[in-house]
A and B are shown apart, each in its own frame.
Chain A
Amino acid sequence: MTQTNRLQGGQIDHTKTLRFQWNERWLSAHPGDTLASALLANNIRLVGRSFKYHRPRGIFTAGSEEPNALVQIGKGAALDPNTRATTVEMREGLYARSQNHVGPLAWDRMAIADYLHPFLAAGFYYKTFMWPKAFWEKLYEPAIRRAAGLGALSGKPDPDAYDHGYLHADLLIIGAGPAGLAAALTAGRSGLRVILADEDFNMGGRLNAETYEVENQPGATWAEATVTELATLPNIRLSPRTTIFGAYDHGIYGALERNTGKTRQTLWRIYTKHALLTAGATERPIAFGNNDRPGILQASALRTYLNRFAATPGHRIAIFTNNDDGLRTAEDARAKGLEVARIVDTRKGETITDTKGRLGIRSVTLNTGQRIEVDCLAVSGGWSPNVHLTCHHRSRPVWTDAIAAFTPGPNLPQGMAVAGAANGTLTLAATLAEGHAKAAEITETLGKTPKGTAPKASDEPADITPFWHVAESKPRAWVDLQNDVTTKDIRQSHAEGFRSVEHLKRYTTLGMATDQGKTSNTLGLALLAEASGKSIPETGTTIFRPPYTPVPMAAFAGRARAEHFRPTRLTPSHQWAMENGASFTEAGLWLRAEWYAQPGEKGWRDSVDREVIATRQSLGIADVSTLGKIDIQGRDAADFLNRVYSNPFLKLPVGKVRYGLMLREDGFAYDDGTTARMSETHFIMTTTTTNAGLVYRNLEFARQCLWPDLDVHLQSITDAWAQYSIAGPNARALLSEVVDNLDLSNAAFPFMACTECTIFGGTPARLFRISFSGELAYELAVPSRTGDALIRALMEAGKPYDITPYGLEALNVMRIEKGHVTSAELNGQTTSEMAGLGGMVSAKKDAIGIPLTHRPALTTREQIRLVGLRPVGSSATFEAGAHLLAKDAPNNLLHDQGWITSVAHSPTLGHHIGLGYLKRGATRHGEILRAHDPVRGQDVEVEICSPHHYDPEGARQRA
């Protein structure tokens, strides 16, 4: 098909042709076209079906406010639904389809809905699908969702790349129309750091769409020259294809850039000192019978297509207007050689009551009864300033009678100013002057001297007499084209009591979905005001929230997708662990080896049982580098530790490690770990893996805010050291071979000793004799880049002892056997007393949390104590989370005795074991209770015992 509706001129490159597909047909276009202008040039007016009634719809606007022309771009995984054809920049090979129809677009089988319209008014669904209740979720809602709606996602992973970024500016100018360009010239020439953003790919705004003159040249020519000049200024960043979608706190703006390069979209966070909103205005429709047909569009959009894109929706045009813009539309159409069949001006008492043409307008009927054949109708109901961003901090716009529209209210977001049509200044010379003046004002505020003057132009006539809808129209008259809301729906909402503007929106869906009512909101308000007998300002507006136009989730995600959804932290032995069959589990950001599967093992239990038994019988090794490690130095370091741990630390000797407990200020226990004293002024603290960040933060707070007079300094050294736990009866034998010149005998290096040393002939290391497993155990640390070499060397040196690497799961089994607590027991709701660590709260000193441990509520909590659990009969199993109940008690909270926190199968003991909290637990060892687990449907008898299932005397770790 040739471009039968292509005109001469415009800002497209007629010398080059692009080919694109529309509903599987190849068509041609030119660089500079949008998909919408190209469709019109190819004489395609029908582009989609409406949301609810499946009415045939065409292109209504030429910008991001488009309610009708929503299409699917691309196919397969790259499919992008609900894209406004008016904002899609034409490119070679573009693939586009219409959406929301069954069968061909022209013969949509779902159009039956239109014939059922008397039943489908606002509130129909709410009233109809009430019974039976259970049907709503299973039947009604899915059926309605299938029938109504917009495009569909591909359901496949998006193959495109998306980016994030951060920009900084003295002044962000939002919109590059006449006001924005004038402001950018002034601010740019004055030396401000400026970002000029516009959602269009071609800057200039209405200057590109109108035939105005600026500085004695065509507006579009002036705009192009201005953009060229701005591009030469190093302090200006031009951001075309960039929508500023939200105004956030402290002068931060959200921006979405549509890229043409490697990334599809970039989400920018823009930090500004000032922002100038020059986002223009949106032309409103007038409601009259059958005002939604393809070929009916905004008068301003028609001028855009004629003047900028050299494309026309028709050749015989009628114009329906309540203001002077309509007359200019006629002039422009005639200048392009089109026939203007009639100008219907409401100010002269003329209206349009109805239109004809199923798939595109064929005629209009006037209130005089006269019928006029046309193939295009341009409508102008006046202009609504784009005040959206001024309202993102809850400011409400104010009604301005002179232009019959809402204009920005007095309480703008901090640092924001508004100029041009967005401020209600609708004529050209005034807009240019205001853009210049506001930029000059901001320049002065920033301590610079404004340069230049406002560009010269004339003001065009812009008289308006408000006119909202044609009351005598019999057929349905659309207010919101995107949501199929008619004048009748608004009257009905009011009649049924939904009279607040917020209720109206939710009852009728007016102003929802992708266009957020940009063309319909003011008209809807006017109709509601009329129905309620109030003025429009009394009726008020709904709240504008970000985003101004839709922002894809993919852009928010940016690079953070799939395995890069969040960063990961890898241990020094990660590579080695991967080579040796480890599977990994997440612990915070860390990936930790959970077990090392060996050939022939049927499941994780086989691996874990083997690792535990090997460690207990001979020698095991685990990477414990993930534990938080904090270097604490200073003259007052010991005093500091004594204030943050509930147990004493002042007199810890150099060369010794002590187990410490930290309390929250409210007296509950929150973290435990060991701290080693390396010198008089130097300690190394370990924390649990999960609480490393929290403990560090709390310590910094204590150091900087609670006790700034102490000489104490913190450094995280978690990543600086690779640390391995070497556990089992042969641990000493192995270490004696690898540690240089150190007596490891029990007398010389006893349980809880520590030292700096060298290993393997000179590698610096730190050795701690501590045990989490309950075995004779050491933790050996080396600078982390040596960690990979160390695990390989230890595995080699440990061969005679059948050294076995063990993972997090075996570590957990062994600590449950031993009765050591972790975050399952210290979960923020338990006290030191409950965990059996009451003796660690010193009565002789003050430390964070100690005073509040004496609260009656904590000391008299029914003597809940940590206990051990084992099944009655060795084959029974139970799980953490179960509750403890007396054998004959009913299964309810009233009879709850306690709960189970940790459970493991103990390969050492040959049955399940657990830890839990039980009322008066310390005195009930030997009692039989039930582990009742309604979530998993389990109920088994368990015997209460000591939490120390294995080596309760601690002989092995002290061996």
Chain B
Amino acid sequence: MLEPTARLGTDLTIGANRITERTDLALYSVAIPRDGESALADALQTLWNLALPTPKQSTQSANTRALRTAPDALLLILPEEAPVAAKLQGSGYITDQTHGLTVLDVSGPDTPSALERLCPLDLSPEAFPEGATARTLVEQLGTTLLRLGDTHFLLISASSSAESTLHAVETAYHSVA
């Protein structure tokens, strides 16, 4: 067996903030078959006790989350790799993105200030509350944002440019922390 290596291996503390790469998560893109939304909703409920999220929202149950990333697509975040395709039995088309996406977990009091230097979206708690998600840009790189708490976010972006994303995030934190 070949051993996977973390893309970044980042675990940084900048001021009272922390930036880590999450390699403990498994990410699956789930495409909703045409006319198959209710079947998928049932499957998510049965398998993970998860509600089908509406666009720009996520749902959560225990350690599992579903993010609505497009009208016909979800991103399923599980605490470990699982045979998702087999479990869904055709109610969703699965693409394993565990290695395709790199997840940065950013938290700490300066996080909102750092993110306003990186992302054009309005991330005020009113406009982007806990659980909100969006596909946006972080320093020109396509990124899916998920708010886990007031000052706690996941930044999910393409693995090949993860070093550039990290550099931008680090620099932004250094500007404010």
Residue positions of A touching B, CB distance < 8 A: 161, 163-168, 193, 261-263, 266, 269, 271, 559, 564, 566-571, 589-590, 625, 631, 633-635, 681-682, 709-711, 713, 715-721, 759-763, 782-786, 788-790, 793
Contact = CB atoms under 8 A, between A and B. Distances in A.
Contacts, number: 137
B120 A720 contact: no
A166 B31 contact: no
A354 B46 CA distance: 92
7 contacts: A161-B171, A166-B117, A564-B167, A567-B161, A634-B33, A711-B33, A785-B23
Nearest to B97: A720
Given A762-B1, A784-B100, A165 B95 contact: no
- Among B118, B127, B159, B174, chain A packs the most CB atoms within 10 A around the CB of B159
A515 to B, nearest CB: 30
B82 to A, nearest CB: 14
A719 B159 contact: yes
Contacts of B174: 262
Interface string B96-115: 11111100000000000000
Given A564-B167, A721-B99, A168 B139 contact: no
- Interface of B (DSSP majority class): loop
Given A570-B163, A681-B93, A719-B158, A783 B99 contact: yes
B111 to A, nearest CB: 14
A496 B161 CA distance: 60
B31 A785 contact: no
B2 A559 contact: no
B29 A715 contact: yes
Nearest to B116: A165
Contacts of A762: 1
Contacts of A568: 161, 163-164
A589 B31 contact: no
B2 A782 contact: yes
Contacts of B101: 719-720
A492 B22 CA distance: 71
A716 B72 CA distance: 15
B116 A566 contact: no
Given A564-B167, A713-B73, A269 B161 contact: no
Given A570-B163, A711-B34, A715-B29, A789 B99 contact: no
B129 to A, nearest CB: 15
B2 A571 contact: no
B5 interface: yes
Nearest to A591: B160
Contacts of A760: 1-2
A793 B121 CA distance: 44
A785 B160 contact: no
A166 B124 CA distance: 12
Contact of A785 (B4, B120, B161, B171): B4
Interface in B130-177: 139-141, 158-161, 163-165, 167-168, 171-172, 174-175
B99 A720 contact: yes
**Highest count of chain A CB atoms <10 Å: which of B1, B3, B172:** B1
Contacts of B96: 720, 783
Contacts of B116: 165-167
Nearest to A262: B175
A566 B161 contact: no
A572 B124 CA distance: 36
A682 B95 CA distance: 10
Nearest to A637: B93
A41 B140 CA distance: 48
A721 B161 CA distance: 14
Given A266-B117, A720-B96, 11 more contacts: A165-B118, A263-B175, A567-B139, A589-B161, A631-B95, A709-B34, A719-B100, A720-B101, A783-B4, A783-B96, A785-B99
Contacts of A566: 140
Contacts of A167: 116
B25 interface: no
Given A713-B73, A717-B100, A271 B5 contact: no
A715 B95 contact: yes
A786 B4 contact: yes
A164 B5 CA distance: 33
Contacts of A559: 139, 168, 171-172
Contacts of B29: 715
Given A566-B140, A568-B161, A719-B159, A789 B97 contact: no
Contact of A761 (B1, B119, B121, B164): B1
A474 B73 CA distance: 79
Contacts of A711: 33-35
A786 B3 contact: yes
Given A567-B140, A720-B99, A633 B31 contact: yes
A720 B96 CA distance: 8
B160 A569 contact: yes
Nearest to B90: A681
Contacts of B97: 715, 717, 720
Interface string B1-34: 1111111000000000000000100000101011
A789 B6 CA distance: 11
A716 B157 CA distance: 12
Contacts of A625: 160
Nearest to A785: B4
A592 to B, nearest CB: 11
A251 to B, nearest CB: 13
B2 A786 contact: yes
A354 B167 CA distance: 61
A158 to B, nearest CB: 15
B120 A166 contact: yes
A192 B121 CA distance: 19
Among A166, A761, A793, the one with the most B-chain Cβ atoms within 10 Å of its Cβ is A166
A166 B119 CA distance: 7
